[in-house]
Structure 1
């Protein structure tokens, strides 16, 4: 599983989260404490928002701890909204196109988790995409495909609904293929204005997610695991939750796939 961190608030240098803290994302890339594997060395990526509507993007296949370019960029880039990710591949080659975050227009997305039995349902899910969205497919990962499913389900107009319907499509495809649905989904995504996150798993054991205040600035973080365990104000996000973080506050609401909602209604 991967590790990631996202920030929204007053502009800060990326190094304040990615490289400087005692348990920074760089440290987590080789010494994660709340993941199945402590090592996340299959690439990394950054997406940050500045003066343009679409985010800047930097990704590479090197382990995050061994790339001096990453440290230099984080020392110089300042942003009030950014996403950072270190990858532990569960499928898909180690290539730049398979590194998170993924970007489409003003949207950025990163994921910790996986679609179980992906190779048995990948073709069905890809074929279900509209032509315009399918043409954006660059890599081979289940994470990128899930992002495209979200876009296909109307992400711009309805973020939580799009994630719910995309989750439903994965579950239904698994059932039709005779595969027990197995989806682990702890993801963050943004349109440059708000920062969203979801924590969900079909087996109830979703990868970890925390929110916390940035202690020295007016901002908040969403992280796979805390980057400062000494005095940080960290709150664990419950499983089956959807988080929306805006400039004026944070909301946490229950999350369920559309199929589950339909079953309860019936």
Structure 2
């Protein structure tokens, strides 16, 4: 894990903003040199006006794929509950072709109850949603093998979550990237659990990139990277900053990203 390059992602939440602003932000972040641009898979804003402007994930990601050239992109994360797994596999494969092989297939079990209730999905329980995800992942991978054409290359699978009984075994079985918000004190234990799960499946944990959610509070004014330094020291290599469409009156505050890029470049200098 630790010989991987340090990478910076940015999650552009599609809320309180126009579609063109999201596209322009994705293009600008690519120009700035970020490594990945992520969306999310919700139907309503998570902060601010709960009925404010908002856009759907798959079609937005397709627009980003057509509007950029180099940056990786994907959802952080698709909700498994909202789509038939075979259909979702086909959607991801299609966006992967639009992007010429830059798509990261991020997926999780879902959690935001309003999305389920208003769109008519069964909310179930945490356990039932995780069980559904475990059943869906083999179907998704099998569908990629049958599609004509298949994905451009080996599409990375990102799985979000930290549960030791269900999520981390799924990461060990299927994921190329493991994303969480686990802090630096807890992360070594979680990595030990993941390592054992990988060994039980004949995998090397080094095959999995460790990803973590950063905070815009980190790095303000070019300082305050203690938490990220500690996460980096125990193996995290992908750090993703959340930006919202209501960060400023004009939309996303992209200037916040600059200090993270300088921090990244110093890590791998």
**Shorter-chain TM band:** 0.3 to 0.5
- Which fold has the larger relative contact order, with Cα–Cα distance below 8 Å and residues 6 or more apart in sequence? 2
TM-score, structure 2 as length reference: 0.37
TM-score, structure 1 as length reference: 0.38
Greater share of residues in helix:
2
Greater share of residues in strand:
1
